[in-house]
Amino acid sequence: MSDAGPAGAPARESLPPLPPPEVAPPGLTPQALALDLRTVDDAMAARLRELCYRWKLLVFKGQDLTDEEYIAFARKVGTPEPYFQDHYHHPDHPEIFVSSNVPMDGRKVGVAGTGRMWHADYSFFDRPLAFTCVFPKILPRVKRETYYVDMARVYRELPDALKKDIAGLTAFNDAWDYYKVQPWDIDRAVRELIDQWHREAPGASHPLVVRHPATGEDILYCSSGFTKRVEGVTAERGEALLRELFAFAEQPRFKHCQPWEEGDLFMWDNRTLIHHASSVPAGEQSRSYRISLYDELPFRAS
Ligand SMILES: [Fe+2]
């Protein structure tokens, strides 16, 4: 009997078997694992990377890690990358990106309302991140969830004509328009803020179809949040293509809604999944700690 089940039905003792590599995963199949992340050694970390590449989303249940233990786990699994804007950083741990509307020791820490658009983390850099981990620390009393779309499945199901239309094309990804204005930006021109963003994050071109370096899956690589234009075609043609791709990818049948529960720690394959945060209703508190990771593989196989 398998010791793992769908998210919400935690495993008890050990990791589930990897699916046979010759079998393409049927789609986003989140796995819930009751594993004490303080016990993860190098061999288990390698196994978790493989699981994450194949199952796309892992949910570690019942976690009660200190910040230091969370960082230690992340360092086993990959190489943490501090966010390029340091006002997102945890005051003591730059590896931790804080999404929060709750002051810490009376001070504003991190940024509220992050990630409320379809996107892949760091897709506006030449080397997008391999994995994203999110550890909710303060959950709103009402539901909180993250939505995911498996872009490998989307590509598999894309109409052949559209596959043909985008073959060989690249698209430009940028996120300056999601910059969250901070208290110290008062009296600065919007142009100045945009220019500063682009000095730090100039944007990046990626193929519209990338091959995953671990699974070999072809992934439709774009998101309505960050993909701004298709290159090598007219603006009108590019806009029409992106409209068609986003409408196809964001169909309800592709969306997975992952609720947050106390003690959950999420880890997902940031090459394959795009994600979208839910909003926090007015008056509700929310704080989560993200650690973004690189692995040892190139961003894409082709
Ligand atoms: Fe994100």
Contact 229, 171 (CB under 8 A): yes
For residue 22, the CA-to-ligand 1 centroid distance in Å is 30
For residue 275, the CA-to-ligand 1 centroid distance in Å is 6
So what's the pLDDT on residue 221? 98
Rounded CA separation 104/167 (Å)? 48
For residue 120, the CA-to-ligand 1 centroid distance in Å is 6
pLDDT tens across 237-258, in order?
A: 999 999 999 999 999 999 999 9
For residue 21, the CA-to-ligand 1 centroid distance in Å is 28
For residue 35, the CA-to-ligand 1 centroid distance in Å is 24
For residue 39, the CA-to-ligand 1 centroid distance in Å is 27
Read off the pLDDT of each residue in 205-214 and give the average, rounded to a whole number. 97
For residue 175, the CA-to-ligand 1 centroid distance in Å is 11
Pairing of strands 170-173, 204-207: antiparallel
So what's the pLDDT on residue 114? 82
Question: Is the confidence at residue 19, as pLDDT, over 90?
Answer: no
For 221, the token pair is 């690589």
Rounded CA separation 294/130 (Å)? 5
Q: Which residues contact 163 (CB under 8 A, 6 or more apart)?
A: 155, 209
Name residue 36's amino acid: D
Rounded CA separation 17/37 (Å)? 18
pLDDT tens across 146-162, in order?
A: 999 999 999 999 999 99
Question: Is the confidence at residue 106, as pLDDT, over 90?
Answer: no
For residue 106, the CA-to-ligand 1 centroid distance in Å is 26
Domains of the chain (ranges; CATH) run: 5-294 (3.60.130.10)
C-alpha atoms less than 13 angstroms from C-alpha of 97 in its C-beta half-sphere: 20
For residue 119, the CA-to-ligand 1 centroid distance in Å is 6
Max avg pLDDT among 9-13, 38-42, 243-247, 255-259: 243-247
For residue 299, the CA-to-ligand 1 centroid distance in Å is 17
In which band, very low, low, confident or very high, does the pLDDT at 74 lie, cut at 50, 70 and 90? very high
For residue 115, the CA-to-ligand 1 centroid distance in Å is 5
For residue 125, the CA-to-ligand 1 centroid distance in Å is 13
Rounded CA separation 186/212 (Å)? 42
For residue 195, the CA-to-ligand 1 centroid distance in Å is 22
So what's the pLDDT on residue 109? 81
So what's the pLDDT on residue 22? 56
For residue 13, the CA-to-ligand 1 centroid distance in Å is 30
For residue 1, the CA-to-ligand 1 centroid distance in Å is 35
For residue 134, the CA-to-ligand 1 centroid distance in Å is 9
So what's the pLDDT on residue 247? 98
Rounded CA separation 268/132 (Å)? 6
Burial class (CB in 10 A: 0-12, 13-18, 19+), 218: buried
In which band, very low, low, confident or very high, does the pLDDT at 279 lie, cut at 50, 70 and 90? confident
Rounded CA separation 251/154 (Å)? 10
For residue 114, the CA-to-ligand 1 centroid distance in Å is 7
In which band, very low, low, confident or very high, does the pLDDT at 18 lie, cut at 50, 70 and 90? low
